[in-house]
């Protein structure tokens, strides 16, 4: 009969293994079937919830930089003059105001001014800042963007990929030894062209009002920005209907809804401009005599429609502000889906310039899975042979090997539960955990048995166990400290190796090593001698 007081660590290990099994094969896993744009005939079905990265699944890896230029440690830049600096720099360099980012009080680092273009020299940028009343030299300006901009770009790219249904994607920043920081995008199950189309453009969506304006020279076309991505509170899925064609239903924020209604009345859209728009983005140019709401994506007009009579009546009656909803019409359903993704994920702050691309075919990647499994089994069998030769006692060797296997099983359950996309670096971490884990178990067994001598009493067992556990704990702490830089720094795939190794060490010290000690106590001591 099992004494829970003496074997609670073993019971805890069994419970955790059950949870890991549910994560691997049941409903607790965050993985599942991967959406794939590659021929499904090239894939091998997987009964687990594990997700696989590029190395084990196939797909596309892009490495690139954000287009931009940064002036650092800008003296005299404050919150009060940041707006004036932004408008002056944009005017001097003939840039869109969205392409100038002023950070007078960044959370980390010095005050900075960024421009998102590559068509300006450092001296021209410095001259524009001097025109804005700041004392900046060309030496203070470098190519590239700030860490805040890169973090925003990484989050936006992740969100875009997630909304396509592709799983296992990895987007991260990687620092180069010689200087410069890159954004690496890995998308399993997608071709290079598809990934480029998904993230190749900033994805800035604007609604611009085009209407006639009377000037001293006659009727001219006025193009006034009306809505940007931050004005949308709710974006529904792109859809198509016989009446409205391909469109995206949207709802504005209260503030944007009031501004929209006010401008529609002020510019004449609700009176003389109702349904006065006949625009084809493929053949037409904006007409100064029409009242059109243009959908502009990355500076290009993709659609132009007039204000419908129903919506015009709601605005005039004041009911539109109570429910500021309408539809953004597009030419095709594919364009509507692109606009939906851009609105939901937000715009990239600047262009992502691809400098290196790599495609791994699914058939090649799938071959790594059995090879990785074979490598792990070879390592496990090699340790089995050494352990058995040394101890020649199945009471010591078999529990040791089962415990080490349980540790790997728990790690796989951890990966499945969190949806970690496994690649070769994670597999290397699993193999390292097998080695370090068995090393610790051998230390524990040697210290407790002391050259295969019998343990006479439970008190002696506990004394030796504490001494062995102290050694193992210090070794685990050393491993965690050594792996921490790989986890914190942006060193590419080495981070995956560090994550698995650190988590494996923590699981070992907290769960599997103590459980193995309980098993040894049960097997090596007689019932009378356990106290």
Predicted confidence pLDDT, tens digits, the chain (531 residues): 444 455 778 888 888 889 888 888 887 766 544 444 444 444 445 677 887 777 777 788 898 999 999 998 888 888 888 888 988 999 999 988 888 988 887 666 678 999 999 889 999 999 999 999 898 888 999 988 988 899 888 988 888 888 777 767 788 888 776 667 889 898 887 888 888 888 877 888 889 999 999 888 888 999 998 998 888 888 888 899 888 889 999 999 999 999 999 999 999 999 989 989 998 888 888 999 999 999 988 888 988 999 989 999 999 998 999 999 998 888 888 888 888 888 887 778 888 988 888 887 776 666 777 777 787 778 777 877 877 787 777 877 888 888 888 888 899 888 888 888 788 888 888 888 877 887 888 888 777 766 555 555 667 677 777 888 888 888 888 888 888 887 776 555 677 888 888 998 899 888 888 888 888 777 766 543 444
Same-domain pairing of 195 and 217: no
Q: How many domains does the chain have?
A: 4
> Which CATH number fits the domain that encloses residue 300?
3.30.1360
Alpha carbon 379 to its chain's center: 33
Last residue of a domain, which of 93, 123, 143? Answer: 143
pLDDT (tens digit per residue) in 37-92: 444 444 445 677 887 777 777 788 898 999 999 998 888 888 888 888 988 999 99
Q: Output DSSP code: residue 166.
A: -
Alpha carbon 477 to its chain's center: 29
Q: How far apart are CA 499 and CA 491, in angstroms?
A: 12
Q: Which of 411, 428, 413 is nearest to 494 (CA)?
A: 428
Same-domain pairing of 383 and 512: yes
Q: How far apart are CA 18 and CA 480, in angstroms?
A: 26
State whether the Cα torsion 98-101-106-108 is positive or negative: positive
| Structural domain harbouring 108 | 68-143
Q: Which residues pair with 100 in a beta bridge?
A: 115
* Burial bucket for residue 480 (CB in 10 Å: 0-12, 13-18, 19+): middle
Same-domain pairing of 375 and 327: no
**CA angle, residues 98, 102, 107, in degrees to nearest 5:** 125
> Which CATH number fits the domain that encloses residue 424?
1.20.1640.10
- The answer as to whether 345 is a domain residue is no
Helical H runs in 268-393?
309-317, 333-345, 362-391
Model pTM? Answer: 0.65
Q: Which residues pair with 51 in a beta bridge?
A: 421
Same-domain pairing of 290 and 238: yes
Q: How far apart are CA 55 and CA 361, in angstroms?
A: 10
pLDDT, the chain, mean = 82
> Which CATH number fits the domain that encloses residue 102?
3.30.70
Alpha carbon 484 to its chain's center: 21
* Burial bucket for residue 242 (CB in 10 Å: 0-12, 13-18, 19+): exposed
Same-domain pairing of 210 and 173: no
- CB within 8 A of 476, min separation 6: which ones? 440, 505, 506, 508, 509
- The answer as to whether 196 is a domain residue is yes
Q: How far apart are CA 292 and CA 270, in angstroms?
A: 12
- The answer as to whether 444 is a domain residue is yes
Same-domain pairing of 232 and 262: yes
Beta strands in 54-140 (DSSP E): 59-66, 69-72, 100-103, 112-115
Same-domain pairing of 175 and 109: no
Same-domain pairing of 191 and 215: no
Q: How far apart are CA 93 and CA 70, in angstroms?
A: 14
Q: How many CB atoms neighbour CB 111 within 10 A?
A: 19
Same-domain pairing of 405 and 420: yes
Same-domain pairing of 162 and 131: no
pLDDT (tens digit per residue) in 333-366: 888 888 888 888 777 888 898 888 888 777 666 6
Last residue of a domain, which of 358, 393, 426? Answer: 358
């Amino acid at each position: 009969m099992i004494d829970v007081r003496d074997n609670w660590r073993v019971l805890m290990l069994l419970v955790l293994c059950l949870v890991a099994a549910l994560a691997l094969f049941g409903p607790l896993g965050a993985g599942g079937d991967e959406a794939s744009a590659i021929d499904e005939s090239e894939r091998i079905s997987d009964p687990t919830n594990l997700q696989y990265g590029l190395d084990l699944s196939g797909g596309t890896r892009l490495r690139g930089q954000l287009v931009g230029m940064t002036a650092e440690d800008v003296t005299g830049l404050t919150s009060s003059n940041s707006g004036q600096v932004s408008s002056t720099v944009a005017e001097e360099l003939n840039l869109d105001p969205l392409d100038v980012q002023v950070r007078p009080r960044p959370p980390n680092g010095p005050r900075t001014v960024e421009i998102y273009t590559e068509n300006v020299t450092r001296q021209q940028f410095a001259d524009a800042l001097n025109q804005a009343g700041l004392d900046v030299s060309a030496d203070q300006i470098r190519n590239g963007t700030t860490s805040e901009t890169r973090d925003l770009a990484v989050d936006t790219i992740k969100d875009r990929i997630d909304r396509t249904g592709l799983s296992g994607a990895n987007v991260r920043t990687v620092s180069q030894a010689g200087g410069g920081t890159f954004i690496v995008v890995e998308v399993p199950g997608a071709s290079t062209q598809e990934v480029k189309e998904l993230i190749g453009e900033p994805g800035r969506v604007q609604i611009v009002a085009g209407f006639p304006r009377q000037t001293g020279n006659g009727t001219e076309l006025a193009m006034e920005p009306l809505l940007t991505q931050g004005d949308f509170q709710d974006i529904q899925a792109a859809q198509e209907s016989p009446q409205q064609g391909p469109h995206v239903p949207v709802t504005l924020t209260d503030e944007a809804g009031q501004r929209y209604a006010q401008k529609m009345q002020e510019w004449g859209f609700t009176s003389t401009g109702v349904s006065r728009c006949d625009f084809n983005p493929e053949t037409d140019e904006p007409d100064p005599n029409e009242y059109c709401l243009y959908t502009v994506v990355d500076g290009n007009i993709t659609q132009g429609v007039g204000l419908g009579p129903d919506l015009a009546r709601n605005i005039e009656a004041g009911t539109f502000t109570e429910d500021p909803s309408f539809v953004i019409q597009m030419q095709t359903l594919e364009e509507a889906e692109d606009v939906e993704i851009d609105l939901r994920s937000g715009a990239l702050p600047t262009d992502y310039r691809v400098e290196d691309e790599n495609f791994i075919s699914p058939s090649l990647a799938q071959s790594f899975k059995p090879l990785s499994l074979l490598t792990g089994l070879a390592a496990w069998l090699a340790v089995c042979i050494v352990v058995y030769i040394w101890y020649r006692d199945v009471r010591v060797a078999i529990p040791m090997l089962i415990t080490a296997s349980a540790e790997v099983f728990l790690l796989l359950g951890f990966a499945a539960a969190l949806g970690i996309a496994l690649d070769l670096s994670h597999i290397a971490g699993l193999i390292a955990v097998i080695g370090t884990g068995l090393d610790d178990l051998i230390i524990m067994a040697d210290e407790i048995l002391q050259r295969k001598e019998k343990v006479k009493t439970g008190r002696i067992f506990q004394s030796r166990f504490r001494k062995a556990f102290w050694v193992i704990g210090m070794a685990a702490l050393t491993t965690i400290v050594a792996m921490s830089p790989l986890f914190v720094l942006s060193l590419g795939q080495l981070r995956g190796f560090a994550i698995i190794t650190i988590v494996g060490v923590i699981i070992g010290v907290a769960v599997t090593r103590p459980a193995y000690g309980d098993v040894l106590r049960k097997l090596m001591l007689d019932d009378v001698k356990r106290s």
